[in-house]
Structure formats: C-alpha cells, structure tokens
Amino acid sequence: MALAGLVFTGLLSSCEPNNPEKISLALHIETTFDNEPVVFDVSQHVNQAGETLVFKRLDYLLSDFTLLGGPNGDVGIKGSYAFVNAKGGAGHIELDSIPVGQYTGIRFNIGLDSMVNHSDPSQYGPSHPLNPNVNKLHWDWTGGYIFTALEGTYKHPGHPESVFLYHMALDRNQRSVTVSFPMDLTKRNKMLHLDYNLAEVFRNPATFSIEEKGDFSHSTFDNGIVEALVANMGDVFTAKHLQNK
C-alpha cells in the first residue's frame, strides 16, 4: 500500500486473522529540524556548525521493526520493510497483528541487512518498498541499496551557496535505532507520532560541518563522511505522543 511519504510491508510471523488478542500500531513520521517543520526546497535551517541548509531530498529505507518490552518479551515483525520519501509528505506505516500488552518502545534499522541488501531486486512486487521502481534507491553497479539519500544546499558564512549530496549505503552503514516510549496496546488500535529530526544528522556525538568534512559522498573513498553522518543518526527519531486510531 502506497501512502504519502512511505510504503510498508511486513506482518508478524504468527499472524492470525480476526484474533482479538492482536492489535495494530500505526507510525506517523514527520520531518523536523529542532521542532521546526521542514519545507523541502523552501525553509532554511542552521546546523550546529553555523551553516544555513535548504533540504531538497530525504529518502530512506527502514527494516526489521521490533516492539520492545512486551508481556512475553520483544516482538519482532518478520519481513518488515518501509520506504520513506519525506519530501512527499509525512510517512505513515501500519504494523499489524501485534500481541496486546504494554510495551516500552520500538526498534528498527535505517538500512538493510547484508542478505537483503544484496538480494535480487526483481523478486519484489510492483508496490513493495524494496522494488527499485518504488524507492529509486537501488544501485545496480553495487548490487545494493542506498539506505539514506540526503540532498540540498548549504551556505557557510562568507561563502557562496553550494550543493551537498550524501548517498549513504553499504552494509557497514546500516544503523539500528531504538525509540523508548511507553505504549499501552491493550484495548484499541493506536498511532505513535514520531519526529525525524534532521538537526541530529549534523551533531551528537560530533558536530558535522559540510564545509570542513565535504559536501559529496557515495559512501566510498570519502574520508569518513558517511561514517560520521551515520554515527550521528542514532537519535534522529523521537516519539512525541500516542493516540487512539
């Protein structure tokens, strides 16, 4: 199913239709910059290094969703993948057939594991998030996917405006993300609102200056550009609130 900003597939391996002991959780993802909405191609944002940024593209792949701290432990969602086109609108994802209970958070990966990353992309159906025609993130010449494509312009004080382009790929640049947030999934289907904070890509644990580090990378021979960006991405996602659907 294609929705604004995101395509998702994946069910629990123990899915049982019409089972009253199961519940669904939707994830609604907004893109922000320190609580300011990001309007692609328009809004300006200043990063930790004092550079003024305008974002043109933020596309990424998510995988391996796991609900944490349930009544019987963590609940992994088998075969779960999502493609987010942030410029296309807020991402929306449905996680179905979750055992009812109290949970402490959710974990997922930005990117794909090695086996899936190097699998044959022709196996995926026309609406599958890993279909290259859907995500436009597959590199034929590497046999793998771009995990995050981040593009835009930047202006460092005293310098003309320039373009930045970061295509974060390769197995080693998969990034696990844990979002801690108490979730009561016992009575009604719920929606968890998440923020993707682009400011965090350029800080914590290290300030990333585009002017100093470099404004272009395809993840190889880049003097550590993508490695530094991925290291900062562990806390780009935060949970805001949980509501009934």
Task: Summarize pLDDT for 87-136 with one digit per residue, the tens.
Answer: 999 888 999 989 999 999 999 999 999 999 999 999 999 999 999 999 99
pLDDT at position 16, please? Answer: 40
pLDDT at position 20, please? Answer: 56
Q: Tell me which residue range forms the domain holding 158.
A: 2-244
When pLDDT is averaged across residues 16-39 and rounded to a whole number, the result is 85
Predicted confidence band at 6 (pLDDT cuts at 50, 70, 90)?
A: low
Cα–chain center distance at 38: 15
For residue 105, the one-letter residue type is G
pLDDT at position 15, please? Answer: 37
- Which residues make Cβ contacts (< 8 Å) with residue 158, sequence separation at least 6? none
pLDDT at position 75, please? Answer: 96
* Tokens found for residue 108: 């997922």
pLDDT at position 226, please? Answer: 98
Predicted confidence band at 158 (pLDDT cuts at 50, 70, 90)?
A: confident
Predicted confidence band at 18 (pLDDT cuts at 50, 70, 90)?
A: very low
Cβ atoms of 236 and 111 within 8 Å: the answer is no
Query: What are φ and ψ of residue 240, in 5° steps?
Result: -105, -55
Cβ atoms of 62 and 112 within 8 Å: the answer is no
Per-residue pLDDT reduced to its tens digit, 160-183: 999 999 999 999 999 999 999 999
When pLDDT is averaged across residues 14-39 and rounded to a whole number, the result is 82
How many residues can be counted in the chain? 245
> Above 60 in pLDDT, residue 228?
yes
Burial 59-94 (b: 16+ CB within 10 A, else e): bbbbbbbbbbbbeeeebebeebbbbbbbbeebbbbb
Cβ atoms of 64 and 80 within 8 Å: the answer is yes
pLDDT at position 141, please? Answer: 64
100: left (phi over 0), alpha (psi -120 to 50) or beta: beta
- pLDDT above 90 as % of the chain: 84
Global pTM reads 0.92
Q: How many domains does the chain have?
A: 1
Q: Which parts of 96-153 fold into alpha helices (H)?
A: 114-117, 132-135
**Best CA proximity match to 121, nearest among 103, 137, 106, 108:** 137
pLDDT at position 8, please? Answer: 55
When pLDDT is averaged across residues 34-51 and rounded to a whole number, the result is 98
User: Is the bond preceding residue 205 a cis peptide, omega within 30 degrees?
Assistant: yes
Beta strands in the chain (DSSP E): 2-3, 6-9, 22-33, 36-37, 45-46, 52-70, 73-76, 81-85, 91-99, 101-110, 138-139, 144-155, 162-169, 175-185, 190-197, 216-217, 237-244
For residue 141, the one-letter residue type is W
Range scoring the smallest mean pLDDT among 6-15, 200-209, 235-244: 6-15
Distance CA 151, CA 196 (A): 15
When pLDDT is averaged across residues 13-22 and rounded to a whole number, the result is 52
Distance CA 44, CA 51 (A): 10
